[in-house]
């Protein structure tokens, strides 16, 4: 099998591992429950759980095998370590869920992993969530992958909810795993909401928090 074929198989395997951790909200109205795939989100820590050091080594071995000039003296282990040191697990996870090709991963590697030291330019390029598509085009070298990445990135940025506390930020996702319409009137609609909750930062709580909210 070609390197591209091996890459696609590994990428798709990692994609499947990530999706297995994803939360897909369900909305129940009049007893009918439907999944809201467009509101899917990945709980905090999903990227680091899936992208283990050994899996990163396998992935970067395929990147190094391309023979790119900037990678001739670089080992896959070095790249895996560099990704961890620079906290780029989420960036790579978004790239994988964007169904990137080997060329885009190669571009990501040479732009953000190969440089031994980071300037302000690299720090800005690696900042998430990305606000400007132009930054993604620089890192990924491909307009199509950049556009998909720009849309997919928010799957990874639902707020983190701890017991009795919400860590706020600029997000486009809410960590609801289920909504049930329980009332409506001139004031608006009221839903019962099941929220993905963290008891501690290190682990997901097994009990969901329930709350009520109105759309007004």
Q: Which is more confident, 32 or 207?
A: 32
Which pLDDT band holds residue 169 (cuts at 50, 70, 90)?
A: low
Per-residue pLDDT, 148 = 96
Per-residue pLDDT, 3 = 72
pTM score of the predicted model:
0.78
- Asked if residue 98 belongs to a domain, the reply is yes
Per-residue pLDDT, 57 = 97
Structure tokens of 23?
């939360």
Per-residue pLDDT, 212 = 40
Which pLDDT band holds residue 159 (cuts at 50, 70, 90)?
A: confident
Per-residue pLDDT, 89 = 98
Q: How many domains does the chain have?
A: 1
CB 209 within 8 Å of CB 161: yes
Which pLDDT band holds residue 196 (cuts at 50, 70, 90)?
A: low
Q: Is the confidence at residue 214, as pLDDT, over 50?
A: no
Q: Exposed e or buried b for every residue in 47-83, given b needs 16+ CB within 10 A?
A: beebbeeeebbebbbbbbeeeeeebeebebebbbbbb
Per-residue pLDDT, 55 = 98
- Asked if residue 170 belongs to a domain, the reply is no
Question: Helix or strand or coil: residue 151?
Answer: helix
- Find, among 35, 24, 37, 136, the residue nearest to 91 by Cα: 136
CB 28 within 8 Å of CB 178: yes
- Asked if residue 110 belongs to a domain, the reply is yes
Q: Is the confidence at residue 203, as pLDDT, over 50?
A: no
Q: Exposed e or buried b for every residue in 92-101, given b needs 16+ CB within 10 A?
A: bbbbbbbebb
The β-bridge partners of 161 are 166
Neighbours of 131 (CB within 10 A): 10
pLDDT in tens, 32-90: 888 888 888 898 899 999 999 999 999 999 999 999 999 999 999 999 999 999 999 99
- Asked if residue 184 belongs to a domain, the reply is no
Q: Is the confidence at residue 202, as pLDDT, over 90?
A: no
- Asked if residue 127 belongs to a domain, the reply is yes
- Asked if residue 204 belongs to a domain, the reply is no
Q: Is the confidence at residue 195, as pLDDT, over 80?
A: no
- Asked if residue 10 belongs to a domain, the reply is yes
Q: How far apart are CA 66 and CA 103, in angstroms?
A: 9
- Asked if residue 38 belongs to a domain, the reply is no
138-143 long-range contacts, Cβ below 8 Å, gap at least 24?
A: 138/111, 139/107, 139/108, 139/111, 139/112, 140/95, 140/100, 140/104, 140/107, 140/108, 141/103, 141/104, 141/107, 142/101, 142/103, 142/104, 142/107
Provide the domain limits for residue 124.
3-23+43-156
pLDDT in tens, 129-148: 998 899 999 999 999 999 99
* Mean pLDDT to the nearest integer, 115-123: 91
The strand pair at 32-35 and 26-29 is best described as antiparallel
* Residue where the block lists tokens 């790579």: 92
Q: Is the confidence at residue 205, as pLDDT, over 90?
A: no
* Mean pLDDT to the nearest integer, 199-211: 39
Per-residue pLDDT, 69 = 94
């Amino acid at each position: 099998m070609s390197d591209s074929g091996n890459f696609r198989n590994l990428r798709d395997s990692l994609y499947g591992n990530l999706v297995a951790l994803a939360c897909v909200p369900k909305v129940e109205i009049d007893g009918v429950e439907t999944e809201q795939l467009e509101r899917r989100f990945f709980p905090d820590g999903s990227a680091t759980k899936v992208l283990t050091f050994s899996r990163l080594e396998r992935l970067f071995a395929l990147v190094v095998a391309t023979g790119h000039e900037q990678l001739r003296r670089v080992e896959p282990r070095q790249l895996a370590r560099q990704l961890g040191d620079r906290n780029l697990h989420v960036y790579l996870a978004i790239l994988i869920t964007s169904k990137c090709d080997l060329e885009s991963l190669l571009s990501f590697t040479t732009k953000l992993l190969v440089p031994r030291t980071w300037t302000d330019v690299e720090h800005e390029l690696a900042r998430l969530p990305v606000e400007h598509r132009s930054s993604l085009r620089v890192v990924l070298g491909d307009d199509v992958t950049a556009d998909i990445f720009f849309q997919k990135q928010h799957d990874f940025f639902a707020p983190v909810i701890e017991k009795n506390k919400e860590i706020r930020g600029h997000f486009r996702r809410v960590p609801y795993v289920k909504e049930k319409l329980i009332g409506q009137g001139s004031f608006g609609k009221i839903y019962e909401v099941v929220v993905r909750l963290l008891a501690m930062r290190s682990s997901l709580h097994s009990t969901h928090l329930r709350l009520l909210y109105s759309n007004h």
